A and B are shown apart, each in its own frame.
Chain A
């Protein structure tokens, strides 16, 4: 395409079902509505001023299941683990129940028979797509969720904007271009993983909580980076294309655009996005922290590393749990290997060797555009860690890919 040709817009990259508009059905006449509201059985019941089941049910462990069970607060506050220990539901069961939006803390009403329960539950509901433990759970999910919340970046308390330092125009530009990439990367992660939250059954509430934290982290990073970029004499840089290569395709395949009702592949998405993509982002952040940036900017990168490292850890544990508990382990290994190959091939070229990412990073590492060569030397020395860290994570997750990974173990430059 030449510069003169009009832009041909493509569908948005992260696939998501189209939005419909509601076609209203006619409502009955207002007088009829009001009359029926007056006769509403609940209104009539309440007008009798008597208390119903919640007040009369015995506190004997049936409907009201855990009377007298109190969790003790510890030095780390009142955590999921402390609650779970007394909840009678410390671990989720292998399959989510038919009532879709109840956590496992709430005992299902015995008056609703399993048959009735199945009859009223939507057969094609988002929460049913990931209602098996092996599809959604991770060991120590509660601890991870607590860590995510306890270590969440509170910018109001920790970012001291008055300590922000001016950089030379060229270094500011390198910083801004690198930050522009980071913002895009965080937005991509948010877009790709966010809609999966609603697909996870409420039985796995710690996982839902953890994913909500992850979503927030990505956006908080965007917010803080945007402020930084737009306030220190520079500005937002040039759009970076291709950094999501391989991973985008895996995520779209895993979600199927969230259309229709089918099993979504949370594990495939986390392998590509959390283990590989965020692993690369984490290493880039480590490099940026050690570059010629101000101590203010260094603290920024350090904080982002903490959050990103959690996302990577979640991804590893998710993959590990799936591999350890899936009934069809051999098929799963084949599928995950295939996903890893696709993501690795795209990431090696589009992310790890993306000139719009590497060039500004090399300038930051070297300390000036004319010293970019020194930056490349650091990148060369660092490169084995990209591959090494990723492979070590896959080992830990139980998906060893040594000798097969498409992330080169030595720098290709």
Chain B
């Protein structure tokens, strides 16, 4: 099932991650086939030549849904209680999102696993290796969540 509603949002913004949330929560049956996903994730868009300051977004996955999305200040981020953080420069995020939009899902060079494996351009990390391992344990669900960008008309406003 795909959502018929057209979703529009600017990237990076809480609204953009919320659009992915909306799509995920509208497709519970599909996510059920992948299994539970339980993570407190922080997605970080790092400043680069196109963007001046880092932006962080806390996203909570619970069972088959995304239950919370919010932008985090540095103080909020410290208190968020993350399991893992996925961080990449704005340019890499933009390329990934455009790729997902163009192909309907990330192509071979733009999956979260591919982008983060060698710590560049994305980096996956956390304070506790076991909690970082949650990302690997439930990766299909997170990839599906991000692939939701295919259905979001994204404007880029760094």
C-alpha gap A157/B35 in the complex (Å)? 9
C-alpha gap A157/B32 in the complex (Å)? 7
B156 at the binding interface (Cβ < 8 Å): no
Contacts of A156 in B (CB 8 A): 32, 35-36
B33 at the binding interface (Cβ < 8 Å): yes
Contacts of A157 in B (CB 8 A): 32-33
Instruction: Mark each residue of chain A from 154 to 165: 1 if its CB lies under 8 Å from any CB of chain B, else 0.
Output: 001100000000
Contacts of B33 in A (CB 8 A): 157
Contacts of B35 in A (CB 8 A): 156
C-alpha gap A156/B141 in the complex (Å)? 15
Q: Which of A146-173 contact B (CB under 8 A)?
A: 156-157
C-alpha gap A157/B30 in the complex (Å)? 11
Q: Give the number of residues in A that approach B within 8 Å (Cβ atoms).
A: 2
How many pairs of A and B residues are in contact by the CB < 8 Å rule? 5
C-alpha gap A324/B35 in the complex (Å)? 44
Which residue on chain A has the smallest CB distance to residue B64? Answer: A156
C-alpha gap A156/B64 in the complex (Å)? 11
Shortest CB-to-CB span from B41 to chain A, Å, is 21
C-alpha gap A156/B34 in the complex (Å)? 10
C-alpha gap A157/B36 in the complex (Å)? 11
Shortest CB-to-CB span from A160 to chain B, Å, is 12
C-alpha gap A238/B35 in the complex (Å)? 34
Shortest CB-to-CB span from B112 to chain A, Å, is 23
C-alpha gap A342/B36 in the complex (Å)? 46
Q: Which of B1-47 contact A (CB under 8 A)?
A: 32-33, 35-36
Q: Which of B32-85 contact A (CB under 8 A)?
A: 32-33, 35-36
Q: Which of A116-164 contact B (CB under 8 A)?
A: 156-157
C-alpha gap A348/B32 in the complex (Å)? 44
C-alpha gap A156/B32 in the complex (Å)? 7
Which residue on chain A has the smallest CB distance to residue B29? Answer: A157
Which residue on chain A has the smallest CB distance to residue B33? Answer: A157
Shortest CB-to-CB span from A228 to chain B, Å, is 19
Shortest CB-to-CB span from B120 to chain A, Å, is 22
C-alpha gap A157/B31 in the complex (Å)? 11
C-alpha gap A387/B53 in the complex (Å)? 77
C-alpha gap A157/B33 in the complex (Å)? 7
Contacts of B36 in A (CB 8 A): 156
C-alpha gap A156/B33 in the complex (Å)? 8
C-alpha gap A364/B158 in the complex (Å)? 67
Shortest CB-to-CB span from B38 to chain A, Å, is 13
Shortest CB-to-CB span from A335 to chain B, Å, is 45
Shortest CB-to-CB span from A277 to chain B, Å, is 32
Shortest CB-to-CB span from B1 to chain A, Å, is 15
Shortest CB-to-CB span from A179 to chain B, Å, is 25
C-alpha gap A157/B29 in the complex (Å)? 9
Contacts of B32 in A (CB 8 A): 156-157
Instruction: Mark each residue of chain B from 107 to 144: 1 if its CB lies under 8 Å from any CB of chain A, else 0.
Output: 00000000000000000000000000000000000000
C-alpha gap A156/B35 in the complex (Å)? 7
C-alpha gap A198/B99 in the complex (Å)? 46
Shortest CB-to-CB span from B29 to chain A, Å, is 9
Show 5 A/B contacts (Cβ-Cβ < 8 Å), sorted by A: A156-B32, A156-B35, A156-B36, A157-B32, A157-B33
Q: Report, nearest first, the 5 A-B pairs whose CB atoms are least far apart.
A: A157-B32, A156-B35, A156-B32, A157-B33, A156-B36
